[in-house]
Copies of this chain bind each other. A is one copy, B any other.
């Protein structure tokens, strides 16, 4: 199998909205993990309030096409409604060095 694609999404979340954000993220994850090409995902929370991004999600997908199909679906828009308002910085990445 080819190397998976890595979706990295850094979110701007006010410190007092961490629990709300996590609940909304879980709902979106539950939808995405049912979609073809999903491999896994890991949500990271900053240990300090000074971080530019309180949360960073790192997920793996089999292909860019699978990720795009999943996130352009009506089901995604419905499941991700709770994330509206938390400014995201998403992109697909490839591992280039270790």
Alpha-carbon gap, A50 to B93, bound state (A): 12
* Interface residue tally for chain A (C-beta within 8 Å): 33
> Known interface pairs A10-B10, A44-B8, A64-B47. Does A52 touch B95 (Cβ–Cβ under 8 Å)?
no
For window 53-98 of A, CB contacts with B under 8 Å fall at 53, 56, 58, 64, 89, 91-98
Q: How far is the CB of A23 from chain B (nearest CB, A)?
A: 10
Q: Lowest 7 A-B CB distances belong to which pairs?
A: A51-B91, A44-B93, A43-B97, A45-B96, A52-B89, A46-B91, A47-B92
Which residues of A come within 8 Å of B, CB atoms? 5-6, 8, 10, 22, 25-26, 29, 40-48, 50-53, 56, 58, 64, 89, 91-98
